Amino acid sequence: MKILMVCLGNICRSPLAEGIMKTKVPENFLVDSAGTISMHEGKHPDKRAVKTAANHSVDISKQKSRPITKADFEVFDKIYCMDINIYEDVISKSANEDQRRKVSLFLEALGDHKNAEVPDPYWGDMTDFEEVFQLIDRGCEAIKKHILD
């Protein structure tokens, strides 16, 4: 199974989702993250995201931001988007219906959060990053159960 987590700049939400998901699935799973913009390409995750993850024994410090590519639609089985704008942007980059079927909103996995979005903590403080971490952790747990059951 190959899973891609996508947010805007690939420095807050999707790196957290990648790191958390990697702790929940077997080692033979490929989990990666990307952004819909290339503004932060090659940069490590936001320091606040790194610190929040480290507080939960998740190391995301070595990740580097990258934009989503056309090849990602071929490589990955599932592409999870952090909010509706990201979802619409990713869908617009897909080439066909098969690729579009791989894309979903991340929190749809929770069932009771239909169309719910993971808020972007970038403009917030450490409390916002912690809340986003907890939300993403619950989403990753639901995705894991869905995939492995």
**CATH number of the domain encompassing residue 21:** 3.40.50.2300
**Helix (H) and strand (E) counts for the chain?**
6, 4
Query: What band does 114 get if pLDDT is binned at 50, 70 and 90?
Result: low
Q: Give how many domains the chain has, as a whole number.
A: 1
Residue 112 confidence (pLDDT): 72
- Indicate which residue of 13, 46, 48, 81 is catalytic: 13
Q: Cα separation of 58 and 52, whole Å?
A: 9
Measured on CA atoms in the order 94, 147, 139, 4, is the torsion positive or negative?
negative
Average pLDDT, the chain: 96
Percent of the chain with pLDDT over 70: 98
Catalytic, out of 7, 12, 81, 140:
7
Kindly give the residue spans of alpha helices, DSSP state H, lying in 62-119: 70-75, 84-93, 97-101
Residue from 32, 72, 120, 137 carrying the catalytic annotation: 120
Dist CA 87 CA 13 (whole Å): 14
The domain of 11 spans: 2-148
Active site residue 13: yes
- Report the distance separating Cα 20 and Cα 8, nearest Å: 18
d(CA 86, CA 8): 7
Say yes or no to pLDDT of 88 above 90: yes
**Is 66 among the catalytic positions?**
no
Q: Residue 121 pLDDT > 90, yes or no?
A: yes
- pLDDT of residue 115 exceeding 80, the answer is no
pLDDT confidence tier of residue 111, bands split at 50, 70 and 90: confident
Check if 128 is active-site: no
